[in-house]
Copies of this chain bind each other. A is one copy, B any other.
């Protein structure tokens, strides 16, 4: 999984049937030093996440089946929302 920040949302004008009605969020991965990466991931949300939220994005066919459903045409899925206070960094 990656840890990231929700930085936006998008809607498709035309889309595969497997994305109809799905909420798509823009996520920037977080680096080990707490910065956001320049990389952008579009993930399917099933947890009511929103802009500014720190989220966990998992990747995989079975992750999708277990969460948003086997008929979704994507396998980057938001599987957790993490409060900023619920992350402990060690110094090592």
Of B3, B8, B13, B66, which contacts A81 at CB under 8 A? B13
Residue of B nearest to A29 (CB): B40
> How often does this chain occur in the complex, in copies?
5
Any B CB within 8 A of the CB of A23: no
Can you report 23 A-B residue pairs in the complex whose CB atoms are below 8 A from each other?
A1-B74, A2-B42, A3-B10, A5-B92, A10-B82, A11-B87, A12-B86, A14-B48, A14-B81, A16-B67, A16-B77, A16-B79, A17-B67, A18-B67, A31-B38, A33-B38, A42-B56, A51-B88, A52-B90, A58-B73, A60-B75, A61-B61, A73-B79
Q: Are B82 and A74 within 8 A (Cβ)? A: no
| Cα–Cα distance between A13 and B78 once the two chains are bound (Å) | 13
